[in-house]
Amino acid sequence: MPTDAVTMDKIVSLCKRRGFVFPSSEIYGGLGSSYDYGHYGVLLKNNVKNQWWKAMLQERDDVVALDSAIIQHPRTWEASGHLAGFTDPLVDCRTCKLRFRADKLEDAQCGRKPSKHPGETPDCDLTEARDFNLMFETTVGPVKEEGSTVYLRPETAQGIFLNFKNYMQFARKKPPFGIAQIGKSFRNEITTGNFIFRTREFEQMEMEFFVPPDEAQSWHQHWLAERISWWTSLGLRPDHLRLRPHTADELSHYSSATSDVEYLFPIGWSELEGIANRGNFDLTQHATFSGQKLEYVDTATGERYVPHVIEPAAGVDRALLAFLVDAYDEDEIEGEQRTVLRLHPILAPVKVAVLPLVRKDGQPELATEVYRELRDHVQAEYDEGGAIGRRYRRQDEIGTPWAVTIDHQSLQDRTVTLRDRDSLAQVRVPIGELVDVIRGRLGELWRSPKLDG
């Protein structure tokens, strides 16, 4: 188990206090396992997604983008196997009226006696287990009774398979190539909890990589290495990350091999991303159900085959939680306790804070000028309220890597102090060089200071 200061409670409390994540619908008493992202949560989430797009699109020539609909033709879910097989076994307790996953009773608490598991007290009266489909249902059409039943997608992946033919025809793609998508997915999860780790509405970053069948295994290895390297390049400590191959009885119905990227959360090792070899399951199923040919044909040689698919599938919310947990730290400065998020600067919601030392003597005016210059280049924040120490603490808690302080000397020689969140080093920099200095620092290789602590 982790030895550092972080706990899930501390993360939840920091997220609420500093406006990263709020429990949803709070004024109505909240809705279990539903969360809203506040200002810094949105900025952090966007940075995570931008880094994923960068790795998938900008740094490669063989992946293209898609943004497909959330509500798709209902046959999609017959073909994909979700309608029949995307289920959890459930039991109800007739005494406490709570519902539990039959295969996770040892993780659940009895409604009447939380120190016991369901079924362990003489009062527990559990029903037989029955399958419960995790897809959210709704109807399309103005009259509910006459409309057709549709589903909110439980994964973004199927939208990619439905568009395979479009990409073959219009993007003139030839395997190996991938289609990447980020978007919301919905699952009526029974066992939620652990903050944003498992929720009913969440965001996925998925890429389906179509390959010639005999290359599937080597591409699977390629993507395992690529994805681990992406997580570590953004600062996650390597000793808190591992790849865990699924055992045969864990594999999804479509997969011939899956490895999970797992992170050592405060709740223990848990899945961040699944990297599956889906074989030709999905394209073959959609070809059968739609009557369309979903294959690659080489017009020069006449060769034809149904590509196999390698799928790296990560959760945005879980990524955010892992980055927050990995970054969370506590230390002491001049006898005062400090909470600090040691986020990779590229992920930090705000890159630089501009702080006049005092709210007089022309300092706010010069600080505003500096702030306006910086915000054209990076996400910056201006703060003139309260003691300077408290303003530093606030920026430390939201993970801002650098703070620029305008003081008396700044008005005389147009230099400012640049404070580093992690080392606390302060250097004097001419205002005219600030943008270049910050850009330079943002481009540097970064390593978590927690690795050295």
* Min CB(199)–ligand GAP separation in Å: 5
- Of 272, 341, 366, 398, the one binding ligand GAP by CB under 6 A: 272
Residue number with CB closer to ligand GAP (47 or 410): 47
Residue number with CB closer to ligand GAP (277 or 395): 277
* Min CB(203)–ligand GAP separation in Å: 8
Residue number with CB closer to ligand GAP (307 or 401): 307
Site string for ligand GAP, 150-169 (x = CB under 6 A): -----x-x------------
* Min CB(438)–ligand GAP separation in Å: 32
* Distance between CA atoms of residues 17 and 441, nearest Å: 28
CB 307 within 8 A of CB 62: no
Q: Determine which helix (DSSP H) or strand (DSSP E) holds 16, and give its type and residue range.
A: helix 8-17
* Min CB(266)–ligand GAP separation in Å: 16
Encoded tokens for 35: 């969360």
* Distance between CA atoms of residues 110 and 427, nearest Å: 58
- Of 88, 273, 329, 381, the one binding ligand GAP by CB under 6 A: 273
Residue nearest to ligand GAP (CB): 315
Binders of ligand GAP among residues 303 to 362 (CB under 6 A) are 311, 313-315, 317-318
* Min CB(315)–ligand GAP separation in Å: 2
At residue 2, the 3 state secondary structure works out as coil
CB 402 within 8 A of CB 352: yes
Nearest to 396 by CA among 33, 18, 80, 61: 18
* CB burial readout 406-435, b (16+ within 10 A) else e: bbeebeeeebbbbbebbeeeeeebebeebb
Residue 82 C-beta-side C-alpha neighbours within 13 Å = 24
* Min CB(362)–ligand GAP separation in Å: 50
152: amino acid identity, one letter:
L
Check residue 187 for interaction with ligand GAP (CB under 6 A): yes
**Which phi-psi region, left, alpha or beta, contains residue 268 (left: φ > 0; alpha: ψ -120 to 50)?**
left
Our measurement of the distance from residue 135's CA atom to the centroid of its chain's CA atoms, rounded to an integer in Å, reads 21
Cα-flanking dihedrals φ and ψ of residue 368, to 5°? -65, -40
Site string for ligand GAP, 221-250 (x = CB under 6 A): ------------------------------
Residue number with CB closer to ligand GAP (317 or 329): 317
* Min CB(174)–ligand GAP separation in Å: 24
Q: Give how far Cα 416 sits from Cα of 411, 413, 442, Å.
A: 9, 9, 19
* Min CB(277)–ligand GAP separation in Å: 12
- Of 123, 189, 384, 422, the one binding ligand GAP by CB under 6 A: 189
* Min CB(332)–ligand GAP separation in Å: 35
Residue number with CB closer to ligand GAP (92 or 189): 189
Site string for ligand GAP, 381-420 (x = CB under 6 A): ----------------------------------------
* Min CB(85)–ligand GAP separation in Å: 13
Interface with ligand GAP (CB under 6 A), residue total 19
CA distance between the termini of the chain = 17
Residue number with CB closer to ligand GAP (308 or 394): 308
DSSP state of 243: E
**Which phi-psi region, left, alpha or beta, contains residue 79 (left: φ > 0; alpha: ψ -120 to 50)?**
alpha
* Distance between CA atoms of residues 167 and 295, nearest Å: 11
- Of 159, 176, 235, 274, the one binding ligand GAP by CB under 6 A: 274
Which residues form the interface with ligand GAP (CB under 6 A)? Answer: 155, 157, 187, 189, 198-199, 202, 204, 206, 271-274, 311, 313-315, 317-318
